[in-house]
Structure 1
Amino acid sequence: MEFKDYYQTLGVEPTAGEAELKTAYRRLARKYHPDVSKEPGAEERFKAISEAYEVLRDPEKRAAYDQLRARGYRPGEEFRPPPDFGGFDGQGFRFEGDFGSGFSDFFESLFGGRGFRGRGPAPPGDTRAKLAIPLELAHAGGRQRIEVDGRTLDVTVPAGIGQGQVIRLAGQGRGGGSLLLEVHYRPHADFEVDGRNILYTLPLAPWEAALGATVSVPTLGGPVDLKVPPGSDTGRKLRLRGRGLPGRAGQPAGDQIVELEVHVPSARSEEQKALYRRMAEAFSFDPRKG
């Protein structure tokens, strides 16, 4: 298998912070999402971008990857995990695999636990695995098909299932035990998750922020109209109640938290530059005061 440079995939420097990683991922994910992109190889590029972000956004995974990368591996060169690299699972046990993630063998060799258990039959008892699901499936519930040891299984995913919760499939593990699937959310191009809340950044034009506007906002349940109050600024957060992940076991449904982000258009024509000059004259505004 080939060594992957996740920083190169996202087009960022190894010193990139959380905000820079998030911006790079969102920009590339929107560009190459297979539902909207018509570029050749968009689906594979989208998978590579998602895999890179999955590693670099997690401090523990990123630290383990950085230690490996510091050994001088180059993108595309033949790679085998060195004997002194013990893998990573983040939970105190190694998983048999990572079903439904679509991540590469390189990712699996480092973070999925494959290749570190040694040869020979697995001991009897429960078998643990990770099940990566899209946020839309976590929201609506449904079925996801996985391949386990050459068998095809249909897994029922309940609506509102949380990150880290376990789905037990009795009798489907090795040796007749149960198959325990720990749920993980795939990275999403638009949303992030905070408990049961969904986080979304809404780009706004300056006039929408200044004058107020009604803007269509995507949610996991479909688009809704959001009223942006006049005089809003970057960083302001608005709440769409009940638009997060559904409640389970007595827990209420989460909300969608919409953070506003004002984007200033570039002045390219003389007419646009003149408009900015008139604004400067009309407003006695200094953003550095106060």
Structure 2
Amino acid sequence: MEFKDYYKILGVEDTADDKTIKSAYRKLARKYHPDMNPDEGAEDKFKEVAEAYEVLKDDVKRAEFDELRRYGQRSGQEFEPPPGWQQAHGSHRQGEQQFGSDFSEFFNSMFGGHDFGYGGQSRQQHRGQDVEIEMPVFLEETLNNKQKTVEYQLSEFDGRQVKPLKKHLKVTIPKGVTEGERIRVKGQGEPAFGGGSPGDLYMHIRLVPHPLFDVQGHNLMVTLPIAPWEAALGTKVTVPTLEGEIKLTVQPNSQSGQKLRIKGKGLTHKGRQDAGDLYAVIKVVMPPESSAEAKELWQKLSVTTDFDPRAEWRKAS
């Protein structure tokens, strides 16, 4: 099994803080997101980046990965988990969650926490055990009903022993699903030994963080960078949405932090026709460098206005 170094995948040091990790993820996710990069292999790269972020954003998973990483650096190219790893780190999650096909064999083996019934809870005598998996869903996929193929592992009894069995299943993710929602697929869990009915499959929806949009309920937030002269004079800009680009008018004398509402361009409400809103949050951005001519213009502006951006400080003191 190939060892995956999630720090290298995100291009960060193993001492990076949460802010650095999130920033690196967003940069790479935007670069490889399938809607922005049609190149072959971009989607696989995006999934790899999302997998790395899934581990490193979580303090518990990150600590476990750091332990694996130290062990992997001593073990050579072909990686095998440390002896007793599943018992110490995986079996406590048995029955709680597995992970879908958007994650690698390494992730599923190290963090899936399913030990196929060995040393775990005993199965019910008359009914198969329920199976819980996480289902990664892109924000774009929540706007309409979406068919996805999931891969998870069950247990198969061949008459002598219990063995792992890979299961592939096509499921429909209803539009309007939200983070943490639990969807039941009846009869697609563990088979029952002795003729009972199989358990159910439960899919826990996990919205994949988007490189541009932040989620607040059913509303979306996007940062809108504008130049100082655009803020002063007003302008028309192109703003991305989950369904394509739209034109938006920025009024003269706009301020950083000001929110522009785009009605109905947020996330869909489940069972309803309406949707949340998209808010473009203005951020005035200075150019990285100024030419001599530009500096001269800034100098003229500084002496032709009596505007004091820190006047509120003096009022408060």
The answer to whether TM tops 0.5 is yes
In 1, Cα distance between the equivalents of 2:186 and 2:111?
25
> Quick check: 1:201 aligned with 2:223?
yes
> Aligned partners of 1:242, 1:40: CA distance in 2, in Å?
33
Contact 1:87 1:116 in 2 (8 A): no
1:26 corresponding residue in structure 2: 26
- Summarize the alignment of residues 106-145 of structure 1 with structure 2, pairs less than 5 Å apart: 106-114=106-114, 118=118, 123=123, 124-145=128-149
Q: 1:281 to 1:116 in 2, by over 3 A?
A: farther
Deviations 1:47-95 (A, max 9, x none): 32222222233344334434554x4644985433332564469988432
Instruction: Go from structure 1 to structure 2 and tell me whether the alpha carbon gap of 1:32 and 1:128 turns closer, same or farther (over 3 Å shift).
Output: closer
1:93, 1:187 → 2: CA distance? 26
Equivalent residue pairs, number: 287
User: Measured at CA, do residues 19 and 146 of structure 1 come closer, stay the same or move farther in structure 2, by a change above 3 Å?
Assistant: same
Gaps of 5+ in 2: 153-164, 192-197
SS at match of 2:225: strand
Q: Quick one: distance in 2 between partners of 1:228 and 1:108?
A: 47
Superposition pairs of residues 1-290 of structure 1, within 5 angstroms: 1-37=1-37, 41-66=41-66, 68-69=68-69, 71=70, 73-74=72-73, 77-82=77-82, 83-84=84-85, 86-87=88-89, 93-95=95-97, 97-101=98-102, 103-114=103-114, 118=118, 123=123, 124-148=128-152, 149-175=165-191, 176-248=198-270, 253-267=275-289, 269-282=291-304, 290=313
Q: TM-score by structure 1 length?
A: 0.78
SS class of match (2:25): helix
Comparing 31-40 and 210-219, the one that deviates more: 31-40
Local SS of the residue matching 1:27: helix
Partners of 1:3 and 1:74 within 8 A in 2: no
Equivalent-residue separation in structure 2 for 1:236 and 1:16 (angstroms): 31
Secondary structure of residue in 2 paired with 1:161: coil
Select between 28-37 and 169-178 the one with higher mean Cα deviation: 28-37
What amino acid is the match of 1:7?
Y
CA shift, 1:150, in A, is 4.9
* Residue 161 of structure 1, CA deviation: 0.9
Q: Which runs of 5+ in 1 are unaligned?
A: none
CA gap of 1:73–1:153, structure 2 versus 1, over 3 A, is closer
Between Structure 1 and Structure 2, whose CA radius of gyration is higher? 2
Deviation (angstroms), 1:248: 2.7
Instruction: Tell me the percent identity.
Output: 43
